[in-house]
């Protein structure tokens, strides 16, 4: 198996590491590595980014900054992070012509809630760590908490951080979920991924429809469609509504144009992440009248739960040219 060959090549000589990585692949992860928990090399950049106000209403990033800069503080006694990648690409970067009234949803949100899918798998992988070291403590994270996932993934040898701040794996591209297990088990870290293979390419920066990138590796979240439709709290201003365009939830533009995705991204065969028809191109009008109970029944097990019914109603109104709640 190609994945086994790759993981064994990059693994340390410990048979425990090899067995753990093999188990990760059996569980459905597409890549796995081990990262040390040394202080974040980009701590100064994080401080400057926060000070510039680029986090918008994401106040939790200010509260989490100390642990993001020193990930060893997240879990007392933790020595390493076991980092996994899971491909969620659905096979096309071109949604084509949308039906009248429909709006676009980012690919990662077109299936069941990845927090639940990957959380369950990570707990199984954590159990495999405890099989190796029965006394070990483990803590699982899926896009939550003060974990600097992309930094840890780079340290674990899983890819590099691109100019649009996405992690690019050289064989998978950037359409991947990052899962992390912190542990005090004695697992030898992998070598970090040192190369930056973006070179002079800046397609992701130039393609951004809202000019959200201040510079390579610096994004003003306040102008990012994903931030506006998912994380932003409160109603939209007229300028913010104009930025959203026809994106109901999230945005894939900077990933769609990336040459590494165009060449290497392949549709996932993971049945737990199969796209749902009601999420691929939903009718935006439905969110304007949907009550809380109906929203919970239809979308409570999807990423759309993050902004909630009110946030999705706001997004829908923006895509349809209205002012929203």
Hey, what are 227's tokens? 């931030």
Residue in the block written with tokens 């933790």: 78
Query: Is 143 annotated in the active site?
Result: yes
From the list 30, 94, 113, 143, the catalytic residue is 143
pLDDT in tens, the chain (325 residues): 344 434 444 444 466 899 999 999 999 999 999 999 999 989 999 999 999 999 999 999 999 999 999 999 999 999 999 999 999 999 875 555 556 657 899 999 999 999 999 999 999 999 999 999 999 999 999 999 999 999 999 999 999 999 999 999 999 999 999 999 999 999 999 999 999 999 999 999 999 999 999 999 999 999 999 999 999 999 999 999 999 999 999 999 999 999 999 999 999 999 999 999 889 889 999 999 999 999 999 999 999 999 999 999 999 999 998 655 5
What pTM was computed for the model? 0.92
- 206-212 own/partner pairs: CB under 8 Å, 24+ apart: 207/253, 207/254, 207/256, 207/257, 208/164, 208/253, 208/254, 209/243, 209/245, 209/251, 209/253, 210/243
Kind and range of the H or E run holding 85: strand 80-87
The token duo for 308 is: 């909630």
């Amino acid at each position: 198996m190609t994945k086994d060959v790759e993981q064994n090549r990059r693994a340390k000589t410990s048979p425990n590491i090899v067995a753990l990585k093999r188990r990760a692949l059996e569980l459905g992860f597409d890549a796995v590595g081990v990262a040390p928990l040394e202080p974040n090399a980009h701590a100064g950049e994080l401080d400057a980014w926060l000070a510039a106000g680029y986090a918008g209403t994401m106040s939790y990033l200010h509260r989490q900054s100390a642990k993001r800069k020193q990930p060893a503080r997240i879990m007392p006694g933790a020595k390493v992070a076991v980092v996994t990648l899971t491909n969620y690409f659905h096979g096309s970067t071109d949604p084509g012509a949308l039906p009248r009234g429909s709006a676009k949803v980012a690919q990662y949100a077109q299936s069941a809630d990845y927090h639940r899918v990957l959380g369950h798998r990570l707990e199984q992988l954590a159990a495999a760590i405890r099989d190796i070291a029965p006394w070990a403590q483990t803590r699982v994270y899926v896009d939550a908490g003060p974990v600097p996932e992309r930094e840890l993934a780079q340290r674990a040898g899983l890819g590099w951080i691109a100019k649009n701040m996405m992690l690019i794996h050289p064989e998978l591209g950037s359409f991947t979920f990052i899962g992390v297990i912190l542990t005090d088990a004695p697992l030898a870290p992998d070598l970090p991924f040192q190369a930056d293979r973006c070179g002079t390419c800046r397609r992701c920066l130039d393609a951004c429809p809202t000019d959200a990138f201040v510079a390579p590796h610096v994004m003003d979240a306040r102008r990012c469609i994903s931030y506006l439709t998912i994380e932003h709290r409160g109603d939209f201003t007229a300028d913010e509504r104009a930025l959203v365009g026809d994106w109901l939830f999230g945005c894939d533009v900077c990933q769609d144009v990336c040459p590494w995705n165009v060449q290497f991204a392949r549709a996932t065969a993971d049945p737990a992440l199969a796209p749902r028809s009601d999420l691929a191109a939903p009718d935006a009008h439905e969110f304007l009248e949907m009550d809380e109970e109906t929203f919970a029944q239809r979308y409570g097990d999807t990423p759309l739960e993050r902004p909630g019914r009110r946030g999705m109603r706001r997004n829908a109104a923006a895509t349809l040219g209205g002012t929203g709640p």
